[in-house]
Structure 1
Amino acid sequence: MLYGDNYDGMIEVAILNHWYRVFTTGAAWDVTGYFYPYASTLGYNDTYVVPGIPFSLARIAGADPFLAACASHVAMKSIGFVGMYVLLRRGLNVRTLLALSGAVLFTTANVSLLHMYHAQLLSVGLFPWLSFLAVRTARMLHRDRSYAVFAYGCGFAVLYGVTALNAFYGVWFFSLFLAIYAPVALMLMPANERQAFGAAAMRHWRALLACLVVGAIALLPMLLLYLPIMATGARHSWESGPHLYLPNMLTLFNVGSGNLVWGRLPTLLGADAPFPGGETRFGLPIGLMVATLFALLWAGRERAKSGIMLPVGIALGVVTVLALRWPPDHSAWWYIYSYVPGASAVRVVSRFLLFALVGIIPIVIVFLDRTPRRGWVLTLILAGLLVEEVQLDAPLTLDRHAQLRMLAAVGPPPAQCSAFFVVSARSADFPVLAESRAIDRAWGGDGIGTGGWSYRPNVDAMVLASYYGRPTINGISSFNPPDWTFANPQAADYLDHVRSYAMRHRLHGLCGLDVRRAVSWFPLAHGA
């Protein structure tokens, strides 16, 4: 059993295996095996390009797609661990043992483990590196080291572009944070420091301009991929999108019932209700929240010692206040959704709390590093912070052997099939009514819809296409092509939808897959 599930976890595997084909066979980087024959189909989802590299290395070494996906999880966690250590030790000058403790706290965070079934959220591990490069760029600017400004600034610009291409949520939240942090930091600076900073920026304008040019180039792949999809009107409506997934005050405490220390709290507060499912479980342990509050009070008194921690905390607080749903049902996030570019593509606003850890943990660790206390007291505090992150309800629900059996049982499409569609790839596909109802409720339905039926054949088609290298017209994502009508393979007119799609796109050699037939693969012309 691996991290993930039969739905988003399988979509992740399909996209990661796309990168394996890109690196080993030279396949087009922006065209996946699903939503055939649309162009730039990678843009309908997060690209997973960064974890795609360790995934591909694991596949080349002989791992199957599911073990390789696990290897990519390990790699992303490792990137996050080292990044947080480097940020604390080299960026913020924290003592080594405390920097290591902060890195462990970041890597083992309760909220991160709870959402391992959304592996794109592992991109949080890239943001300590972005933060480190930003801090070093500003420091080199103060020190009048133009080449260092250029080096660190270009490093930030390139990584920002890669992160934007890799997964959208994190980089959008990070950008919103920076847009609030920058004016807050400037306002909190003493007048003489603000003038010195402006003068340094003017002296090194060439290096900064070069960094902006590099950043614009680094963003081109992301813009080329996603702008055409956005042009088709791909956006979440307010009511069925962000409004549905706004955090409230109870969300801040919802660490999930499996948390070792605070697991009973969500139930007592009534915050762990089935709807909207796992997307309510983005809370922070109480000890970490209390430590953050004390750290910010200290930072307000000790500006010189705390450095950038106060403006970081204020910026995180502002974003949190904007995102919260206030009684009876109001949120300032509507203004963000309406006026900030890209906000309409952000559905689960509560995910911001995961990315906020990139700022919260440095705030706490810097506080512990720069306030004198006995070693045994510090040890107890760190031990308490680590223990309360322990989560016993890990989402280990992706059955590797079951998925491998499906791939082997179905086998590759016949040679005469130029592309395929799926009715059923598993003989036990449709006795999953409880699973289907759970997904329907998570989408805001009444629990009698066909959510699981919609997901299962489409997701299986994506994995089969990626694994065997034959495209499928099926697929599913937050945004689907304009004429995607493959939600319910059990519908009486499903094959009619397929035929209409094939005629519109002039597809020939299209085959169907239904393992419940005597012959699983069948040509569309004889599939009625």
Structure 2
Amino acid sequence: MSGDTVHRDADETNRAGAGTAAARWRRRGLVLAVLVACLALFFRGPVLSGFTRFHGDSYDGLIEIAILEHWHAVIAKGATWNLTGWFYPYADTLGYNDTNIVPGLFYAVARMAGSDPFIATLLAHVAMKTIGFLGMAALLRRGLGIALPFALLGAALFATANASLLHIYHAQLLAVGLIPWLMLLAIQGVRAGLEDRRRALIANGAGFGVLFGLTALNAFYQIWFFSLFLLAFVPIALIVAGPVWRRRLWSAARRHWPILAAIAAVAALALIPFLMVYLPKLAEGARHPFAQAVRPHLPTLSTYVNVGQGNLVWGRLLGPMSGGEQRFGFPIGLLVLTIVAGAWAIRHRREARLMLAAAMALILLVLMVTRWTGNAILWEYLYPVIPGASGVRVISRILLFMLIPMIAMAMLFLQRWRAGPVTITLLCAFLLAEQVQLQAPLMIDRAEQLEMLASAGPPPAECDSFFVVLARQPFTAQEPEAEQVVRMWGYSDGRDLMLRYRHNVDAMLLAAYYDRPTIIGFSTFNPRDWAFYGPDFSDYPHRIRTYVAAHGLTRVCGLDRREPRPWFPLAP
């Protein structure tokens, strides 16, 4: 071989490598551009307000910020990780609600960088949406082998989901963005086992176990929905796979059983923090009664298309439907496309086994949880026997999780559909348009909340703990927001909402912000002797004193902004 030939071959290799590198950077640039566009669309409300109004409300929205502020105290000040600043002097109070540890890490970084609690919360939400977008793109591209344009379309549909923005006042639901990563790790782990790639099996399997434990600790709903889906999907997939694939899987499991045992051990260890937080609360009786709490929040047939009146495409066409937790419906275009994909999978089941199994699992979940006419509710019989079911009150939120397999099915079908490029482009644009929600809950007024924190100030040094009568002036100024929340949630009465939440939530935020515990608070589950409803009722001071005496507390102070001296010591 001549020297010229060697140099020519080297030049061609370098050009090919440069071309590959350039293509790789173009792909990364495209992913980044789509991600930024999705974030801009989803978070346009706070941005267009000049960062004066934020997603959420003064009820559940502020509870989330109080929990995030707890993680700031843990990371920046070394506070006890599972002990929040409310329900003092109870221990392990983190378990009364979702921990929000994953967004809490991003929030803590933003707070340590100088952001106030509301900007830091927005940045934490942006981080969770980014995780979800990248996870969905990776699941579709690397896990399911979908072409990059359709993978990015699926990620965009997931990141900008109508239901996600409509329910941003329950920001713990952003944890659904962790689920695509779990699915990707599971798919890659199975492949690695079948192909005898031991290191990849260890990495993906251990990663799945650790992330499963972290997701469970972060927010219970989405990991429980994912587990319920797996309970349906795995046996169906094994049946659909056929005898050849079942033998391959069984053979791989026998070859790699020591690794699988080690992965199971890692997963068990990763679940320990979750069990530490929530088992004590389960022992206290932290369960939702079916008839009073669960039945009203089961999805009905109309729930599946209830996208809220603010949906850009379907809101006005469908007319008014139930509000509150029934507005988790799917845009009709995506729903129809998923049904078509399922029908296609039935016809082509030999080449679409995974899609067929996902479709059948989704159908099974719908049959299980839907509140049909009359008393035809299968979930009433499954609720007592499925582990963890008693901790899930709002089953309709499962529709947010269902978006993941639905989008995956839709993108797999689009990739195989032999339609022209114009038809495909128009359909993709329509799918994106029908996810746009115009009525995002922008009810957190940043200036008003910062004024409350500043005007109330920290509790006096002589106060070891505190309670709140009124942290805002005047009380009636908060009524419009309460009535708006009533309309959105389908709640019964605005004043009742304020008497139950307002002072308790303000106390939680003050406790977290000023690092001083409060004896009151409000959460998914409350302590057994919680009696802090109605601060303007005549017996409220008596209930406070009863609690203080029962727990042997001293140096307790109250806050009432109507008084000339807002902070006052609790009289014996």
TM over 0.5: yes
Instruction: Tell me if structure 2 keeps the 8 A contact 1:2–1:70.
Output: yes
State the partner residue of 1:234.
286
Q: Does residue 29 of the first structure (1) align with residue 75 of the second (2)?
A: no
Instruction: Tell me if structure 2 keeps the 8 A contact 1:19–1:29.
Output: yes
- Distance in 2 of aligned mates of 1:115 and 1:441: 13
Q: Does residue 128 of the first structure (1) align with residue 128 of the second (2)?
A: no
Structure 2: which amino acid aligns with 1:496?
Answer: H
Instruction: Tell me if structure 2 keeps the 8 A contact 1:306–1:367.
Output: no
State the partner residue of 1:213.
265
Q: Deviations over 1:94-147 (max 9, x none)?
A: 111111111111101111111111100000100000010011011111112122
Unpaired runs of 5+ in structure 2? 1-52
State the partner residue of 1:144.
196
State the partner residue of 1:372.
418
- Distance in 1 of aligned mates of 2:558 and 2:267: 45
User: Which of 107, 114, 128 does residue 166 from structure 2 map onto?
Assistant: 114
State the partner residue of 1:409.
455
State the partner residue of 2:143.
91
Q: What is the aligned-residue identity percentage?
A: 51
Q: Does residue 14 of the first structure (1) align with residue 66 of the second (2)?
A: yes
Instruction: Tell me if structure 1 keeps the 8 A contact 2:241–2:353.
Output: no
Structure 2: which amino acid aligns with 1:44?
Answer: Y
User: Which of 237, 245, 258 does residue 310 from structure 2 map onto?
Assistant: 258
Q: Deviations over 1:226-262 (max 9, x none)?
A: 0000101111111221101111111111100011110
Offset of residue 429 of structure 1: 2.1
Q: Deviations over 1:403-446 (max 9, x none)?
A: 00100111011000011000000112245456556767989875
Query: Which is greater in Rg?
Result: 2
Going from structure 1 to structure 2, the CA distance change for 1:518 and 1:260 (only over 3 Å counts) comes to: same
Going from structure 1 to structure 2, the CA distance change for 1:149 and 1:26 (only over 3 Å counts) comes to: same
Q: Does residue 354 of the first structure (1) align with residue 400 of the second (2)?
A: yes
State the partner residue of 2:522.
476
State the partner residue of 1:67.
119
Structure 1: which amino acid aligns with 2:313?
Answer: V
Secondary structure at 1:421 match in 2: strand
State the partner residue of 1:504.
550
- Distance in 2 of aligned mates of 1:227 and 1:521: 37
Query: What is the 5 A alignment of 1:279-358?
Result: 279-358=325-404
Offset of residue 482 of structure 1: 0.5
State the partner residue of 2:4.
none
Going from structure 1 to structure 2, the CA distance change for 1:430 and 1:232 (only over 3 Å counts) comes to: farther
State the partner residue of 1:271.
321
Q: Report the TM-score, using the length of structure 1 for normalisation.
A: 0.96
Instruction: Tell me if structure 1 keeps the 8 A contact 2:59–2:505.
Output: yes
Secondary structure at 1:239 match in 2: helix
Which runs of 4 or more aligned residues in structure 1 lie more than 3 Å from their structure 2 counterparts after TM superposition?
A: 430-449
Q: Deviations over 1:427-475 (max 9, x none)?
A: 1224545655676798987538622111000000000000000000011
Deviates more, 1:297-306 or 1:322-331: 297-306
Instruction: Tell me if structure 2 keeps the 8 A contact 1:126–1:163.
Output: yes
State the partner residue of 2:40.
none
Instruction: Tell me if structure 2 keeps the 8 A contact 1:247–1:324.
Output: yes
Secondary structure at 1:200 match in 2: helix
Instruction: Tell me if structure 2 keeps the 8 A contact 1:142–1:197.
Output: yes
- Distance in 2 of aligned mates of 1:458 and 1:167: 22
User: Which of 217, 241, 255 does residue 203 from structure 1 map onto?
Assistant: 255
State the partner residue of 1:179.
231
Q: Does residue 382 of the first structure (1) align with residue 432 of the second (2)?
A: no
Offset of residue 389 of structure 1: 0.8
- Distance in 1 of aligned mates of 2:282 and 2:333: 41
State the partner residue of 2:47.
none
Instruction: Tell me if structure 1 keeps the 8 A contact 2:193–2:252.
Output: yes
- Distance in 1 of aligned mates of 2:57 and 2:250: 50
- Distance in 2 of aligned mates of 1:446 and 1:144: 58
Going from structure 1 to structure 2, the CA distance change for 1:443 and 1:335 (only over 3 Å counts) comes to: farther
Structure 1: which amino acid aligns with 2:163?
Answer: V
Instruction: Tell me if structure 1 keeps the 8 A contact 2:61–2:171.
Output: yes
Q: Does residue 165 of the first structure (1) align with residue 217 of the second (2)?
A: yes
Structure 2: which amino acid aligns with 1:4?
Answer: G
Structure 2: which amino acid aligns with 1:281?
Answer: R
